[in-house]
Amino acid sequence: KAGVTQTPRYLIKTRGQQVTLSCSPISGHRSVSWYQQTPGQGLQFLFEYFSETQRNKGNFPGRFSGRQFSNSRSEMNVSTLELGDSALYLCASSPNTIRGNSYEQYFGPGTRLTVT
Amino acid sequence: DQQVKQNSPSLSVQEGRISILNCDYTNSMFDYFLWYKKYPAEGPTFLISISSIKDKNEDGRFTVFLNKSAKHLSLHIVPSQPGDSAVYFCAASAGSWSGTYKYIFGTGTRLKVLA
């Protein structure tokens, strides 16, 4: 089974631009979450989508948005980019089923966004 | 406000010895905890988890201990191997019974296992 894929892997944008990142979950997984990783801040939760609906949201400004398609693929958009948005953006998918007591998330390799 | 804290940014351990990674949390509503391992240029990989109704969970060389009164959890790796060298993140979730996935992650601890 193919893992979580994210495109592009690397991206350079300038301040004020917008960017769209894509995530394809593992086949059959319906839950997709997005995280931002910056040095010293760990992974910070952005939002989670399930069946095309945003189910959870972290504490990020409205410039960060996302959506999920009927095939569970998800996109994340950041508008009016700021220098502080430079980070590794990680996508994780989950089958949303309970196996034992486990709620496993499977992460993609991430998209490294650099804002100049 | 960092609800999940990993106060040791790095740890070095000799091969074959025990590695102990620590994590503290402040939110008493957290009821599910996970550990992830991350290699450079890869996404985090799930290692082991524990529900708040337990105080210990084992999986091979990995054991997670949960002390709810101290709001503290730890990951023990025995014996440590050079391939364990990576950054380890702990994560916590509240309301996991509902099946929603909103995890709060710590800032990570870089483990180096010396051969």
Could you read off the pLDDT of A56-83 as tens digits, one per residue?
Answer: 888 899 999 999 999 999 999 999 999 9
What's the pLDDT band for B96 if we cut at 50, 70, 90?
low
Taking contacts as CB-CB distances below 8 angstroms, the residues of chain B near A55 are: 100-101
From A85's Cα to the closest Cα of chain B, the distance in A is 17
Q: What token pair was written down for A30?
A: 């319906």
Cβ contact (<8 Å) for A104 and B44? no
Taking contacts as CB-CB distances below 8 angstroms, the residues of chain A near B87 are: none
pLDDT mean across residues, chain B = 91
Which residues make Cβ contacts (< 8 Å) with residue B114, sequence separation at least 6? Answer: B12, B13, B14, B15, B82
Residue A100 has pLDDT above 50, yes or no: no
Residue A101 has pLDDT above 70, yes or no: no
Residues B59 and B69 sit within 8 Å (Cβ to Cβ): no
Rounded Cα distance, B77 and B62, in Å: 5
Residues A6 and A108 sit within 8 Å (Cβ to Cβ): yes
Rounded Cα distance, A47 and B74, in Å: 27
What's the pLDDT band for B102 if we cut at 50, 70, 90?
confident
Residue B1 has pLDDT above 70, yes or no: no
CA angle, corner B64, sides to A47 and A29, nearest 5?
35
